[in-house]
Amino acid sequence: MAATMGLVSSSSLVAAGAAVVRRTGKFTLRYRPYTLELKHVFTIAAGSRSTTPVVLTELEYDGIIGYGEASMPPYLGESHSSVLAFLDKVNLAGFDDPFLTDDILQYVDGVDSANPAAKASVDIALHDLLGKLMKQPWYRIWGYDPGLTPNTSYTIGIDKADVVRQKVREAEPYKILKVKLGLDTDKMMIETIREVTDKPLCVDVNQGWKIKETALEMAHWLAERGVVFIEQPMPKEQVDDNAWLTERCPLPTIGDEAVQRLPDVRKAYGVYSGINIKLMKCTGLREAHKMAELARALEMKVMLGCMTETSCAISAAAQLSPVVDWADLDGALLIGNDVFKGMDVQDGKVILPESPGIGVTKL
């Protein structure tokens, strides 16, 4: 079912799962709402969910189609309706050349002050389109060695001990596990996982710790149990407390909620040991690439993360993976209804597709 812009409202499209098709100049932009179904209920310090809304996009030029995606976990403040409303306003009729990437994406960024995931859906589709026009994957265009990709972590959400053990066993192929913390069950989570495996762990507190002294005590406890870094230990607003912790912490600290877009990288310098780059926070590949380069120039650690996403957005992010310290690209592995095939994981390691663009095909 397709709808021409102006004939059907965005709210009606959400209910029907229909697609909008808009022809603006030499570009055709298509987008439709979709809901990802998680294999397990996903719990973090801020709450629980079993689904994630996404919007799937296509950008066509001269018969070539690029694929994109917006993923909207609740804390980002975006929704099916807000993304569709944003995309309704995008008009690319003023651009004849898809290679004017900066001009196009600066325009998209200026359509609205918010909506980073909606903007990322256009950015990813444009990068996929350009890679296909150049007949090269983006990691080659950037000059990255695909042999240098890291292992990806596999996320274990907060849960009861028996479910945690089950999740750890399901994660057997992965070399490093990412554990969600931030509640009063933190030690139980780690101790339960250590009953099953001695693999390296990283932890994501999602701003759940509030007191710096308690956070430091917990960091030492975690270091003794094979944890390699701590992601967003305290609320992002507690800048001085996070800096205090980083200065004394036996483990690297990674800013996530505190680091959304490019200007935040410099603000994070001295507050965290490194940053977590996510396409849905930073509006897509164009800005993610700049963030990685700036963080490296500042000698900060770089983590590449994701939301719950299809293999479309995951494969797009993976193009940057050869130049990061850690990857957390398991978003598509946590869902049961992916609609793309792209980046692979073999023996825990990110394997980049050789296909042009972001390297995905529709299932």
Size of the chain in residues: 363
Render 27-67 in DSSP notation, one character per residue. Answer: EEEEEEEEEEEEEEEEEETTEEEEEEEEEEEEEEETTEEEE
Q: For the chain, which ranges sit under pLDDT 70?
A: 1-17, 42-47
Question: What are the structural domain ranges in the chain?
Answer: 2-135, 140-362
| CA 159 to mean position of chain CA atoms | 22
pTM of the complete model:
0.93
Q: d(Cα 287, Cα 81) in Å, to the nearest integer? A: 24
| Strand residues in 187-343 grouped as ranges (E) | 201-204, 227-231, 253-255, 274-277, 301-304, 326-327, 340-341
**What superfamily in CATH does domain 140-362 come from?**
Enolase-like C-terminal domain (3.20.20.120)
CB–CB of 40/106 below 8 Å? no
3-class secondary-structure state, position 314? helix
pLDDT (0 to 100) of residue 5: 40
Which tens digits make up the pLDDT trace of 125-156? Answer: 999 999 999 999 999 999 999 999 999 999 99
pLDDT (0 to 100) of residue 8: 43
**What superfamily in CATH does domain 2-135 come from?**
Enolase-like, N-terminal domain (3.30.390.10)
Render 199-240 in DSSP notation, one character per residue. Answer: --EEEE-TT----HHHHHHHHHHHHTTTEEEEES-S-TT-HH
Render 83-146 in DSSP notation, one character per residue. Answer: HHHHHHH---TT-S-TT-HHHHHHHHHHT-SS-HHHHHHHHHHHHHHHHHHHTSBHHHHTT--G
pLDDT (0 to 100) of residue 136: 98
Which tens digits make up the pLDDT trace of 44-89? Answer: 655 677 889 999 999 999 999 999 999 998 777 899 999 999 999 9
At 166, list the tokens. 């089950």
